[in-house]
């Protein structure tokens, strides 16, 4: 048989390699920024068009390349950064594989202009899909400019696979911020579609963080410094009271390289133990400097993971450094051994008889009523639309609870949409109906209800999420919600990126009842909120929303709407631990079974289970 093995042509090999190096426009941004840094630049400009799908350009003022180097830089395994395998353990540069430019040139139109300081003129090279289209002598300033156009032009499948511009741009901004945070000694400017998004002058580290995340960040930072033989730590952690639901602002840099490490993240978490509200995450911006020989950054192609020789020691050092800072800046609670004598019981009181303090309680006050009625059953019941869709899924559970006839059933489906008062009156003279409505709250968590075949146990939090979720989705589509005007506009502070997220969801948020007055760089002014959303909850709702969007980056309008509905439902749903009155329990049961998909919560968790009398019987054998 003839020989069948062939060496792949270079451009094919490059395209394959590109699959690893370049996943999306943000990967190009990362590689080119890193090259510019390795070239010793002091100012780096990033220019983006259409979220990098049309153009990613980086202009630096670094050392530039000679004619030969300019040409060679696009060859695979062409690098000036290592010469032999030992160099891998002494890395002081970002790049070393010599693959980035070759890979990028294989899947895009690339224009390079570069000049070294001592040269009179520079070199310009144009490459399209690994083919050199032209090479010329040009007049160009010292440094390098690389434009990458029409990414994935020759791999339509990859191009189609790219997400919306919003998503791709967010990835680019993430990369840009990571690189910029690691190098406050370099100035960075970023333009997106012709307008300046970031202008970060050379500064100290604190100022760099503030320039990226907004002025409000300054007061939130607690410095962390530690210098030991194995590890130098410097940077900041966020004060616990500013901890957010989003994990967004968590940055580790090891020898100026952004890395992800669940293990080290855990060290920070444990340093913050007891200081954070549950579900929130502290932010941190920490630079670790270690001997390059003790790490291996080679284990991940995109190089955000890293292997340390001695992780346990790093963990312990990091944890104690952060703990120390929190303590030093009076953030961790300190035991107060100096007793304040004013708080002691005066002697003349010791013989006095103690009477139980009495508390006046307004028993008719029911905070839940307002909340549950939010989007659930409001003043003007528009519930008729539920009627048709409601019966099918759940009626099987209740049908003909013994002697009930169809007529009564109709009544029942009607009833669930009336106000509580009417419900009560309709059922009061009907013994059988009362039985339908027997509910009981278990551990302030579950609602137990009798059904035809036995019993039903419902998770109150998940059930209410489902109810609210469907209501929000409907409101967003129908756009007929009522807002509650605020007496004074509410000003909420966010980072620029967070403001953008809210701005993207503006239309949908307005459909739920929000009224926005103004979007500023770092704040949002709100004039109205959905009916029955307490003003105090608004910032929590929006923070939750931002966190959800960041964690689940929606890639279409449809999924953004869905996410909004889910997120708001999550924030506003009755919590586990909340005690409910009988009528509230019943109302929730009814509302759940009026939903299109009562069986699962918006995040696909079971909302209720049933247990038949048969099953119970078996347990009693
Ligand atoms: P690596 O960075 O791993 O060496 P690249 O493909 O990214 O591989 O770059 C190849 C070589 O091209 C680099 O080693 C460097 O010598 C040169 N180079 C790339 N970008 C620049 C730049 N902006 N300024 C100067 N030299 C550059
Ligand atoms: Mg490189």
**Segment 235-264 mean pLDDT:** 88
Q: What is the pLDDT of residues 555-603, one digit of tens each?
A: 677 777 788 888 889 888 998 888 999 888 988 998 998 888 899 999 8
Secondary structure (3-state) at 165: helix
Pick the range with the lowest mean pLDDT from 100-114, 554-568, 599-613: 554-568
- Domain parsing of the chain, residue ranges: 10-200, 205-328, 441-610
* Phi/psi of residue 541, nearest 5 degrees: -60, -45
**Segment 445-449 mean pLDDT:** 92
Secondary structure (3-state) at 95: coil
Give how far Cα 446 sits from Cα of 370, 579, 588, Å.
Answer: 21, 10, 11
Extract the runs of DSSP E, i.e. beta strands, from 264-328: 284-289, 295-296, 307-308
Residue 498 Cα to ligand 1 midpoint, Å, equals 34
Confidence of residue 287 (pLDDT cuts 50, 70, 90): very high
Nearest ligand to the CA of 97 is: 1
Residue with more model confidence, 115 or 401? 115
**Nearby residues of 114 by Cβ (< 8 Å), 6 or more positions away:** 64, 65, 70, 122, 123, 140, 143, 144, 145
Q: Which of 79-83, 112-116, 498-502, 574-578 has the highest mean pLDDT?
A: 112-116
Neighbours of 254 (CB within 10 A): 22
Q: In the chain, what percentage of residues exceed pLDDT 90?
A: 38
Confidence of residue 215 (pLDDT cuts 50, 70, 90): confident
**Nearby residues of 525 by Cβ (< 8 Å), 6 or more positions away:** 489, 490, 491, 516, 517, 518, 519
- Residue 244 to residue 591: CA distance in whole angstroms: 32
* Phi/psi of residue 606, nearest 5 degrees: -60, 130
CB of 96 closer than 6 A to ligand 1?
yes
Residue nearest to atom 25 of ligand 1 (CA): 64
Per-residue confidence (pLDDT) for residue 407, from 0 to 100: 39
Confidence of residue 390 (pLDDT cuts 50, 70, 90): very low
Residue nearest to atom 16 of ligand 1 (CA): 80
Token couple for 58: 């980086």
Confidence of residue 356 (pLDDT cuts 50, 70, 90): low
Per-residue confidence (pLDDT) for residue 477, from 0 to 100: 75
- Give the CATH number of domain 205-328; options: 3.30.230.10, 2.60.40.10, 3.40.50.720, 3.40.50.1980: 3.30.230.10
- Residue 4 to residue 9: CA distance in whole angstroms: 15
Per-residue confidence (pLDDT) for residue 94, from 0 to 100: 76
* Phi/psi of residue 259, nearest 5 degrees: -135, 160
Alpha helices in 442-505 (DSSP H): 460-478, 496-504
Pick from 493, 539, 551: nearest CA to 514: 539
Q: Which atom of ligand 1 lies at the shortest distance from residue 35's CA? A: 20
CB of 27 closer than 6 A to ligand 1?
no
The residue to mutate among 38, 56, 130, having the most atoms of ligand 1 within 8 angstroms of its beta carbon, is 38
Q: In the chain, what percentage of residues exceed pLDDT 70?
A: 80
Residue with more model confidence, 24 or 161? 24
Alpha helices in 184-293 (DSSP H): 205-213, 262-271
Per-residue confidence (pLDDT) for residue 147, from 0 to 100: 98
Per-residue confidence (pLDDT) for residue 414, from 0 to 100: 33
Alpha helices in 96-190 (DSSP H): 100-106, 156-161, 165-182
Residue 165 Cα to ligand 2 midpoint, Å, equals 25
Residue with more model confidence, 56 or 474? 56
* Phi/psi of residue 49, nearest 5 degrees: -125, 140
Fold of 10-200: Heat Shock Protein 90 (3.30.565)
Per-residue confidence (pLDDT) for residue 54, from 0 to 100: 95
Residue with more model confidence, 612 or 304? 612
Residue 77 Cα to ligand 2 midpoint, Å, equals 11
Secondary structure (3-state) at 312: helix
Per-residue confidence (pLDDT) for residue 437, from 0 to 100: 55
Which residues share a beta bridge with 354? none
Residue with more model confidence, 430 or 436? 436
CB of 57 closer than 6 A to ligand 1?
no
Residue with more model confidence, 82 or 56? 56
Per-residue confidence (pLDDT) for residue 357, from 0 to 100: 55
Residue 118 Cα to ligand 1 midpoint, Å, equals 19
CB of 101 closer than 6 A to ligand 1?
yes
CB of 116 closer than 6 A to ligand 1?
no
Residue 62 Cα to ligand 1 midpoint, Å, equals 11
Residue 61 Cα to ligand 2 midpoint, Å, equals 16
**Segment 72-91 mean pLDDT:** 78
- Residue keyed to tokens 């048969």: 614
- Residue 104 to residue 22: CA distance in whole angstroms: 7
Burial class (CB in 10 A: 0-12, 13-18, 19+), 405: exposed
User: Are the C-beta atoms of 181 and 253 separated by less than 8 Å?
Assistant: yes
Extract the runs of DSSP E, i.e. beta strands, from 494-617: 515-519, 523-530, 608-612
Nearest ligand to the CA of 37 is: 1
Residue with more model confidence, 231 or 347? 231
**Nearby residues of 246 by Cβ (< 8 Å), 6 or more positions away:** 281, 543, 546, 547, 550, 551
Per-residue confidence (pLDDT) for residue 152, from 0 to 100: 93
- Residue 259 to residue 178: CA distance in whole angstroms: 9
User: Does the domain at residues 441-610 carry the CATH identifier 1.20.1090.10?
Assistant: no
Q: Which of 436-445, 546-555, 602-611 has the highest mean pLDDT?
A: 602-611
**Segment 395-415 mean pLDDT:** 42
Residue with more model confidence, 242 or 430? 242
Confidence of residue 298 (pLDDT cuts 50, 70, 90): low
CB of 268 closer than 6 A to ligand 1?
no
Q: Which atom of ligand 1 lies at the shortest distance from residue 31's CA? A: 7
Per-residue confidence (pLDDT) for residue 92, from 0 to 100: 74
- Residue 586 to residue 456: CA distance in whole angstroms: 12
- Residue keyed to tokens 């918006």: 602
* Phi/psi of residue 469, nearest 5 degrees: -55, -45
Q: What is the pLDDT of residues 155-173, one digit of tens each?
A: 888 888 888 888 899 999 9
Per-residue confidence (pLDDT) for residue 442, from 0 to 100: 92
Pick from 441, 410, 440, 415: nearest CA to 427: 415
pTM for the model stands at 0.64
Which residues share a beta bridge with 513? none
State the DSSP code for 537. G
Confidence of residue 245 (pLDDT cuts 50, 70, 90): confident
Q: Which atom of ligand 1 lies at the shortest distance from residue 64's CA? A: 25
**Segment 183-199 mean pLDDT:** 95
| End-to-end Cα spacing for the chain | 74
Mean predicted lDDT score pLDDT of the chain: 80
As separate numbers, helices (DSSP H) first and strands (DSSP E) second, the chain gives 21, 22
The residue to mutate among 72, 95, 298, having the most atoms of ligand 1 within 8 angstroms of its beta carbon, is 95
Pairing of strands 257-259, 250-254: antiparallel
Confidence of residue 135 (pLDDT cuts 50, 70, 90): very high
State the DSSP code for 418. S
Pick the range with the lowest mean pLDDT from 34-38, 105-109, 434-438: 434-438
Residue 34 Cα to ligand 2 midpoint, Å, equals 6
Per-residue confidence (pLDDT) for residue 182, from 0 to 100: 96
* Phi/psi of residue 376, nearest 5 degrees: -100, -70
- Residue keyed to tokens 């059930």: 463
**Nearby residues of 316 by Cβ (< 8 Å), 6 or more positions away:** 267
Pairing of strands 187-192, 195-200: antiparallel
Token couple for 478: 């129908």
């Amino acid at each position: 048989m003839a020989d069948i093995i062939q060496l792949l042509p270079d451009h094919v090999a490059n395209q394959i390699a590109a699959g690893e190096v370049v996943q999306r426009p943000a990967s190009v941004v990362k590689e080119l920024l890193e090259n510019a840094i390795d070239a010793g630049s002091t100012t780096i400009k990033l220019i983006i068009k259409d979220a990098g799908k049309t153009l990613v350009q980086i202009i630096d003022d670094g050392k530039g390349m000679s004619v030969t180097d300019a040409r060679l830089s696009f060859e695979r395994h062409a690098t000036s950064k290592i010469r032999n395998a030992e160099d891998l353990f002494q890395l002081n540069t970002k790049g070393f594989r010599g693959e980035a430019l070759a890979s990028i040139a294989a899947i895009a139109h690339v224009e390079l202009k570069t000049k070294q300081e001592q040269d009179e003129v520079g070199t310009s090279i144009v490459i399209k899909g690994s083919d050199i289209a032209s090479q010329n002598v040009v007049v160009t300033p010292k440094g390098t400019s690389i434009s990458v156009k029409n990414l994935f032009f020759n791999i339509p499948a990859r191009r189609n696979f790219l997400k919306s511009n919003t998503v791709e741009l967010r990835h680019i901004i993430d990369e840009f911020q990571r690189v910029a945070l690691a190098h406050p000694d370099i100035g960075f400017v970023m333009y997106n579609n012709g307008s300046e998004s970031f202008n970060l002058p050379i500064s100290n580290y604190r100022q760099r963080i503030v320039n990226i995340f907004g002025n409000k960040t300054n007061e939130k930072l607690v410095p962390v410094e530690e210098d030991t033989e194995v590890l130098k730590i410097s940077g900041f952690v966020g004060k616990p009271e500013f901890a957010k639901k989003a994990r967004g602002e968590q940055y580790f840099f090891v020898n100026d390289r952004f890395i992800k490490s669940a293990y080290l993240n855990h060290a920070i978490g444990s340093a913050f133990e007891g200081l954070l509200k549950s579900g929130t995450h502290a932010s941190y911006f920490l630079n670790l400097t270690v001997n390059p020989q003790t790490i291996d950054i080679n284990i991940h192609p995109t190089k955000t993971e890293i292997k340390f020789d001695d992780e346990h020691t790093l963990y312990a050092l990091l944890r104690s450094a952060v703990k120390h800072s929190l303590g030093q800046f009076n953030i961790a609670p300190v035991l107060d051994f100096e007793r304040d004598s004013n708080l002691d019981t005066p002697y003349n009181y010791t013989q006095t008889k103690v009477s139980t303090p009495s508390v006046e309680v307004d028993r008719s006050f029911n905070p839940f009523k307002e909340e549950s009625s939010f989007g659930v059953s409001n003043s003007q019941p528009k519930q008729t639309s539920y009627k048709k869709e409601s019966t099918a899924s759940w009626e099987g559970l209740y049908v003909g609870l013994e002697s009930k006839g169809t007529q009564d059933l109709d009544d029942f489906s009607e009833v669930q949409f009336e106000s509580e008062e009417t419900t009560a009156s309709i059922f009061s003279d009907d013994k059988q109906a009362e039985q339908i409505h027997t509910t009981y709250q278990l551990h302030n968590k579950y609602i137990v209800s009798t059904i035809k075949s036995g019993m039903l146990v419902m998770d109150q939090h998940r059930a209410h999420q489902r109810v609210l979720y469907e209501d929000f989705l409907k409101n967003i589509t129908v756009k007929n919600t009522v807002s509650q005007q605020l007496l004074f506009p509410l000003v909420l502070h966010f980072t620029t990126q967070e403001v953008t997220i809210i701005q993207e969801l503006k239309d949908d948020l307005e459909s739920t009842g929000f009224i926005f007055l103004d979007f500023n760089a770092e704040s949002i002014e709100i004039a109205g909120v959905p009916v029955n959303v307490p003003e105090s909850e608004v910032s929590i709702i929006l923070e939750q929303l931002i966190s959800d969007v960041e964690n689940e980056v929606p890639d279409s309008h449809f999924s953004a709407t869905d996410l909004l509905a889910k997120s708001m439902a999550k924030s506003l749903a009755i919590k586990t631990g909340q005690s409910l009155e009988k009528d509230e329990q019943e109302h929730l049961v009814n509302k759940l079974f009026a939903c299109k998909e009562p069986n699962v919560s918006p995040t696909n968790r079971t909302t209720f289970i049933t247990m038949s009398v048969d099953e119970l019987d078996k347990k009693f054998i």
